[in-house]
Structure formats: C-alpha cells, structure tokens
Structure 1
Amino acid sequence: MEKIRIGIIGCGSIAKHRHMPEYHANSGTIIAAVCDIAEDRLQGFAELYHAKAYTDYKELLADADVDAVSVCTPNYLHAPISIASLNAGKHVLCEKPMATSKEEALEMIEAAHKNGKKLMVAHNQRFVPSHKKAKELIEKGEAGKIYSFRTAFGHGGPEGWSADGKESWFFKKDQAFIGAMGDLGVHKTDLLRYVLGEEFAEVGAFVETSAKKNADVDDTAVCILKTESGVIGTLAASWSYVSKEDNSTIIYGEKAILRLEDDPVNSLIVQFANGDTVKYELGGIQTNDEGGQKSSGVINHFVDCIVNDQEPAIPGSEGMKSLEVILAALESSETKQIVKIN
C-alpha cells in the first residue's frame, strides 16, 4: 500500500518531540515536507527526514505530493492554516487548542465537511491507558453515581519546553491568545468530557497571570465546572508548579474514588466504599520530558482514520466543545459571573 505523505507545518517542540518521531515510527507514513519560518530550524528537520523544506505553508499546501498535514504552529494560526489545508484537499491533525474562538472552530469543521477530509484535534489525554480504563469503569457503573472530581495540569511553564525558551510565542497574547488555560486546561476539559461521558453546562473561573514576568497571558487558573447532570468539580491549569508536573485527576463516586495519574507507580487506583482497593499499573502518562519515546497514540490514530476512512475519535466537533469550556472560563474570569455553555 502507498504510504501517506505527511507535511508538518511548524517545526517547534511539539513537532520535534511528538509529531515527527511518531510519523517516522509509523510504517504507513512518510514525512514528505516540513515548513517553518525559521530557516535554520527547518533545514535541520528537512535533512533529518529527507523531506522538502518550505518557509511558506501555502507553498507546502500547493504540493500535490502531500496527503495530510500536522498543524503545529502558534495557536492563532491553527484555524487559518487548518482551513487552508482542508480547502487544499489535505487531511488535518491540528494541535490544541484548535482555535481562538467558536466561530473559527465552526469554520474548520465546515471546511472538513465540505472537502470530505479528516479533521482531528491532538487531545492526547484520551489515549492514556489509565484514562481509558477509568472511562470504562465509570460506564460499567463500577463507581456508581458520580458526585464530583478534581483535575490539575501544571508544570514549570513553556520556557522549559518550547523551542524558543523564555522568548516563546506561548507568552505572547497576539500569538497564543490564551496561556496555561489553552495549553494545559483544554486538555483536561477534553479529558473530563471523555471520562464522564457528558457535557459541561456552567463554568466559574479565576484566571491570573501571577508567575511569569514576561507573559501577557494567564499562567495560573482555577475553574469550577458543572456538568449537565450536576456533577461538580475543579480544574486547575498552571505554569507555576516549580517541582514535578502534576497531571492528576480524581473522580469521586457513590461506590468508589478513582485516582488517575495520582501515584507514581499505579496509574489508576480505585478505592471502593467497602474498603477494597484495586491498583492498576498501566504504564504512566506520556510526558514531554521523555523526549517522546512513548507514543502519544494521537498520530497512529490519525493515520488509521485516513487509511480506514473512519471519523477520528476527536474530530473538530469534539475539539470545539472542549475549547468552549475554556472560552467560558475566560469570560467568567472577566465578568465575575458564572457562565452558561449552550
């Protein structure tokens, strides 16, 4: 079978550590083209993967050799580049947050539909073994009625991870649009929607810039969320956690408490009301520190969807619903009101 020819648009850290090595490791794909405005960075990756090099994404999209693209640019470019790619007849895997507004997200979904192409948002938390197992247990009724939850995603900030360090676009509102809430918080809204199996109806939030001197976006946020059925909980997203990363979620149910990624060894611990405890060693969550040896699952799923002509697990509509929770949190912080999500 012909290999799917991939174009990578944006050659920063997420492309370097996740997209490129995972496409390279996938037997069904070949990295055919790479694109970045930083020529020195671009040439290094073009040589490494024997790919064509472009400094203008529109030229890459005009390349008939490219079947699908990963959009790994600063956030403000996600929607325009994804839409242009879909209109050019390419399948699109877009980094999160998928867009900077609901309107942009809807335009992306429409472009995918109109052109008959796949649009997937790279929400990798759905592929984490402990998260999949927790969803399965909740669906089976093992935890009974769910009452509440708390989830956190925090680390020391993008300067330790981004290709540009302290000068990173992550800190610039005109390019990032949103800080820790868009970088980390949107992962957790997506995870909670997935694990709980329902939508959020109301959000209240405090969103601050307290830790980063060079930032005009949020670096620390705490949200209170309520689902349509009345499950309530908190979500913390932060670039101000100076020790090891926190990526944990705890779900409190009638029959059990589920602790996800809360223990260094057991990625899922279920504490039942009757006193029993079940521990699952499912392999940890992928972290950025590992240099991406551990597959995120995102790339392989995207490729499978193209090969088998299936709808991705996280299509544009799912990415948009997770984005809407974040947008509501921003609105709540600004207006000092609880915001309803339609």
Structure 2
Amino acid sequence: MDMLRLARIGGAIWETKSEHGRWVACCDMNTDLLKRVETEFPGVQTCTDYREIAVSPEIDAVYICTPNDVHAEQTIACLEGGKHVFVEKPMALMKEDVVAMVQAERKSGKRLAVDLELRFGALTARRPVEIIQSGEIGKVVGLQFIHYRGGWKNEGNGIWRVQRAKSGGMHMMEAIHPIDLLRFYGGDVSEVQSFSLPNVLPQYDFVDNIMTHLFFENGIRGFVLESHQRSSNAVSDLTGDDPLWQEQGHSYGMSIIGEEGALKLDFWKARLTVLHYETYPTGTDGRQIRFARNESFKGLSTKELYHDMQGYFEEFVRRVAEGETPYQSGEDAARTHLLCLAAEDSANDLTAPRLRVDYSCLL
C-alpha cells in the first residue's frame, strides 16, 4: 500500500499525524506558522493560497481546517483538482453549497468525508452499538443529548463564531455533532422542530440556545439541547478545579432509550451506565427501572472517548489508501447538514411548525 501524499489547508500539520500518509504541503494565511513548518518539516511545501494545493499534481488528499464559511469553495476546488478531501464540520452553511459538494465528489470520483467524529468514539458509538446489537435494551425508541458550554466572546477566534453568516448558527456550529450522532443510531429524520429561550448573549446574532426535537422516519423520537447560556457543571480529572473551565467549559450527557432498558453516557466520568426495565414483583402492575451495571472507560483520553478528530482523520486516510469507502459517506454527512439547516430555520422562527426535511436535492 502506497503512502498518500497529504496536504493541510488551515492550521499546522504537527497537529495531525498519519501512519498511512505523509505530509507534503501546508497552506495557511499565518506566515509565522508556515515558517515553523518549513523549519520543523524540511521538504514540506508551504503556501498562502489554497488554490495551489487544489491544482498540485503532487497531492493525493487534503485536510481542510479553515473557518466555516469557506469550507465549500475550498472543498469543491480540491475535489475538482483530483484530491480526496477530509473537511471540518460544517461542510457548508447553505443548502446549495452542500449539494454542490456532493455533486463535486460524484463527478471527481474521489472521496469526501466530514469531521463528525462523535460517531467514531469508544463511548459515544462503538461500545453502545455492541450493547444495542446484543439486544440487551431492546429496540431503540428514543435518543437524547444535552450539551452546555460557555459562550464565545466577540474577540479573537470568537469573532466569526458569533456571526451566523460565518459560523452557521447554533445548529451548524454546535448541535451538528449530536444530531449526526443521533442519526447514526436512528437513521434519517423526516421532521424537525426547534425552540429556544430568550438570548442572554447579545454578541450572538442568532439564538444562543436551542431545544431541537427530531422525528425519525422509523418512529424513533430524538431531543437535542445545546446551550451557551451556562458552562460545565463538572470537574473531572481532565479539567481539575479550573475557573476558566467553569466559565467556558463543556458539559455533556446522552441517553439511549430502548424498549427493555436504557444506556446513560456520562462523558466526564468516562462511564456508561446500563439500566433494565423489569416488571414489578408478582401481584403488582407496571415496570421499574433497575440498575444493571456501570462500564468504566477510565484510562482513555477525551479524544478516544468521543472527540477523536485525529483518529477519525487517520481512519479516513487508511480507508482511502486501501480503496475502501469512508466511515461516513459525503452524501450521508450532507443529510445531517440539510437536517441542521432546517432545524436552524425553525429555531430562528418560533412560529414555525414542524419542518419537513427535504433530501431530494441529493438525488
């Protein structure tokens, strides 16, 4: 198997390693960063214009890690230039750009993947899938995800994040990860409806919190809460008693509800709790929730648990190098984006009824 020749647009190549590829180029607007690349990685070509990466015949695959509003144009250019592309989420901020990216992938014959890595994590995906497939909790009927984090300030790298035209709003910037994870378990969503509390962060020109209800085609119901109105309520071995974390840190939780039991995913305790539904003792009606066990994931890093961008990228490179399809296809990632765009429209118009999600544009 030949090593893929890799290039990165945005950010530094030392942040991402690969056993199945070698870095040959790096593009960024920060010339100081490029000087460091040239010093630490002799032979790696550098540039400030992504078009040089797109047209180079010496590159096989590109990792795009730039602000959200330029993902589409850069991805399409690289696909048209004959490159496989791994791009940070969101793939695009407008429906027509999402569709154009999928069409560019099909026309190029190359592979497109989006960094929706929650579906790759040991805690968020791999172990729960094993339990579900074993039949222990029965058929999945409900999915819930709750995420709080401190709000972005209108300064530094927060400036573009508080502008909907740049970041895409709450769904495209934050909720896209849990919504994609819920799709991983539940399949396609037919209808969506979002609500929000009044904003408390005036620097945001979009809602700073959302409560999104997902109605899956197979009857599963889902719920995602994303809020920047408060931060972490957890102190862990990973964060310690850090005041900054208390102001701006994350707090996660997820539940998978089955007909015969449930799974509770505790991110900061690195623990999966299994619950069973059992009938009351003889002579009474109803069922009770019984604790079955805890499964500990301590010893794994945050990245391995759920935020494994490095591992997900490496899996993409390996699959491309070996001629396999990506872990998630570009079209499937596009379906998550179309769902999030509909949800964002709903969140910013509280009078809107359930919105039907239209995937026909991808046909």
Fold match by TM threshold 0.5: yes
Corresponding residue for residue 54 of structure 2: 61
Matched, 1:255 2:266: no
Unaligned 5+ runs, structure 2: 233-248, 279-289, 359-363
Give 1:7's aligned residue: 7
SS at match of 2:35: helix
SS in 1 for 2:205: coil
The counterpart of 1:114, out of the listed 107, 113, 117, is 107
Aligned partner (choices 82, 88, 105) of residue 89 of structure 1:
82
CA deviation after TM superposition for structure 1 residue 34, in Å = 1.4
CA–CA separation in structure 1 for the residues paired with 2:14 and 2:207: 29
Within 2, Cα distance between the matches of 1:322 and 1:85?
22
Shift of 1:191: 0.4
Q: Quick check: 1:72 aligned with 2:71?
A: no
TM-score, normalised to structure 1, is 0.86
User: Structure 1 residue aligned with 2:292, among 277, 280, 302?
Assistant: 277
CA–CA distance in structure 2, aligned partners of residues 48 and 170 of structure 1:
31
User: Does 2:334 align with 1:320?
Assistant: yes
Give the conservation status (yes or no) of the 8 Å contact 2:253–2:265. yes
- Choose the corresponding residue for 1:138, options 132, 137, 141: 132
Q: Output the CA distance in 2 between the equivalents of 1:202 and 1:172.
A: 26
Match of 1:337 among 347, 353, 357: 353
Structure 1 residue 234 corresponds to structure 2 residue 193: no
Q: Aligned-pair distance for 1:296?
A: 4.2
Other-structure match for 2:25:
33
Q: Hey, what's the Cα distance between the residues in 1 that align with 2:310 and 2:254?
A: 18
1:169-318 alignment runs, 5 A limit: 169-176=160-167, 178-196=168-186, 198-207=187-196, 210-243=199-232, 244-262=249-267, 264-266=269-271, 268-274=272-278, 275-283=290-298, 286=302, 296-318=310-332
Q: Offset of 1:285 from its aligned partner?
A: 6.7
Q: Quick one: distance in 1 between partners of 2:198 and 2:84?
A: 36
CA contact (8 A) 1:68 1:92 kept: yes
The 1:45–1:207 alpha-carbon spacing in structure 2 relative to 1, beyond 3 Å, is: farther
CA distance in 2, matches of 1:221, 1:39: 38
Report what 2:150 is aligned to.
156
CA distance in 2, matches of 1:48, 1:212: 41
Q: 1:302 to 1:253 in 2, by over 3 A?
A: same
Please give the alpha-carbon distance, in whole angstroms, between the structure 2 residues aligned to 1:295 and 1:323: 18
Distance 1:70 1:209 in 2: 37
Task: Give, in angstroms, the shift of residue 317 of structure 1.
Answer: 0.9
Q: 1:212: how far off?
A: 3.3
Q: Give the TM-score, by structure 2 length.
A: 0.81
Give the whole-Å Cα distance in 2 for the aligned partners of 1:45 and 1:216. Answer: 36
Is the Cα–Cα contact under 8 Å of residues 207 and 330 in structure 1 kept in the other structure?
A: no
Q: Deviations over 1:264-309 (max 9, x none)?
A: 041x211111324122223557369x9x8x6642111111111111
Name structure 1 gaps, 5 residues minimum.
none
Change (3 A) 1:285 1:183: farther
One-letter identity of the residue aligned with 2:314: N
Instruction: Report the residue type matching 2:7 in the other structure.
Output: G
Contact residue 231 and residue 251 of structure 2 kept, 8 A: no
Q: Is the 8 A contact 2:19 2:314 kept in 1?
A: no
- Counterparts of 2:72 and 2:87, CA distance in 1: 9
Once the two structures are superposed, residues 178-225 of structure 1 have per-residue CA deviations (whole angstroms, 9 ceiling, x without a partner) of 2332122111111011123x2111111025672433332443211111
CA distance in 2, matches of 1:106, 1:340: 18
Q: Distance in 1 between matches of 2:184 and 2:220?
A: 14
Q: Secondary structure of the equivalent of 1:64?
A: coil
2:169·2:344 contact (CA, 8 Å) conserved in 1? no
Aligned partners of 1:250 and 1:259 also within 8 Å: yes
Worse-superposed segment, 126-135 or 85-94: 126-135
The aligned length equals: 325
Which has the larger Rg? 2
Q: 1:225 to 1:181 in 2, by over 3 A?
A: same
Contact 1:261–1:285 under 8 Å retained in 2:
no
Contact 2:62–2:84 (Cα < 8 Å) also in 1? yes
Question: Cα RMSD (Å) of the superposition?
Answer: 2.6
Shift in alpha-carbon separation, 1:31–1:210, aligned structure 2, 3 A? farther
Residues 79, 105 of structure 2: 8 Å contact kept: yes
Kept in 2: contact 1:203–1:329 (CA 8 A): yes
